[in-house]
Amino acid sequence: MLKKITVIGAGQVGATTAQRVFERGYADVVLVDIVEGMPQGKALDILESGPVVGSDANIIGTNGYDETEGSDIVVITSGIARKPGMSRDDLLLTNMKIIGDVTKEATKRSPDSIVIVVTNPLDAMVQHAFEVSGFPRERIIGQSGVLDTARFRTFLAQELGVSVRDVQAYVLGGHGDTMVPIVGYTTVGGRPISELLPKDRLDSIVQRTRDGGGEIVALLKTGSAYYAPSAGVVEMLDSIVLDQHRILPCSAYLQGEYGVNGYFAGVPVKLGSSGLEEIIEINLSSDEQAMLQKSVDAVEELVEIMHKSS
């Protein structure tokens, strides 16, 4: 039997995620949105691509939650996206309300599901979903590090004229301006990046990675990135559905790891069929540890604002 994956929010990120999952063929998909007709229309359109892309999976759209019952995985992308001049944090309270509502509805009907949150500001939203759902940390994870790392790897591969597949890297910390590209663990064909690029070039690529989301927002003007974000979600889904035990940078609830207690932050985790199987602790330089702490402090501030408002 195919898995069942619910995608909440049928906007740019949600619909592209649904399309990518449908094309994998390993899961039936339920696409949920509040806009009447829109998730139904997109789902039908994707379904009709089945004969061409070779997928026998089913996909339906809905404005309610009954159809989501018994999902193995729930991906939450609902919310408002950034417009030019807005930071991810500007979305905080609006998206908090949306995430709270949809998490309640979805987890009630799929109490054993694994939840992946994509909505920004990511680390605060996944923390809110964690608190609302009461799920164990193994089954509630945020997508951000896969995307940030993909951006970093893209820029490094371009700079060095090598395949993206040969650039190994991790971007940890919060999904925001305080994200932490771990230069010490960045290698190209096994060689440390510090041997291949002068510091100023590397610094500017790190900065471009931090600003990667904003660069796309400034170009699009009417929304934010969705092709690479949805690809990031699907890399996580692959690892869970196919029990691949991939080690991927994801936002996870830390309980002492990396010196952080009680907050979500981007760290390398092992993902398999039961969700988060292990948090991998890599050695950080004192600078990297300090940057990670700074990014956790930023998340902590947002979580405090959310707690005060509720």
**Strand, coil or helix: what is 63?**
coil
Residue 34 touching ligand APR (CB under 6 A):
yes
Measure the N-to-C terminal CA separation of the chain; round to a whole number of Å. Answer: 41
Residues 205, 186: Cα–Cα separation, whole Å: 12
Of 170 and 226, the one with the shorter C-beta distance to ligand APR is 226
Count residues binding ligand APR (CB under 6 A). 28
> 240: part of which helix (H) or strand (E)?
helix 227-241
Of 202 and 225, the one with the shorter C-beta distance to ligand APR is 225
Q: Count of CB atoms within 10 A of residue 302's CB?
A: 23
Residue 92 touching ligand APR (CB under 6 A):
no
Residues 55, 51: Cα–Cα separation, whole Å: 7
Part in contact with ligand APR (CB under 6 A); list of ranges 53-61, 75-83, 196-204, 273-281: 75-83
Residue 151 in tokens: 């951006």
Residue 8 touching ligand APR (CB under 6 A):
yes
175 is catalytic: yes
Residue 101 touching ligand APR (CB under 6 A):
yes
Among 13, 57, 183, 233, binds ligand APR (CB under 6 A): 13
CB of 115 to ligand APR, least distance (A): 14
What DSSP string runs through 129-183? HHHHH---GGGEEE--HHHHHHHHHHHHHHHHT--GGGEE--EEB-SSTT-EE-G
Residue 10 touching ligand APR (CB under 6 A):
yes
Residue 110 touching ligand APR (CB under 6 A):
no
> 298: part of which helix (H) or strand (E)?
helix 286-309
Of 14 and 193, the one with the shorter C-beta distance to ligand APR is 14
Provide the binding-site residues for ligand APR, judged by CB under 6 A: 8-14, 32-35, 77-79, 81-82, 91, 95, 98, 101-102, 118-120, 223-224, 226, 229
Catalytic residues: 175
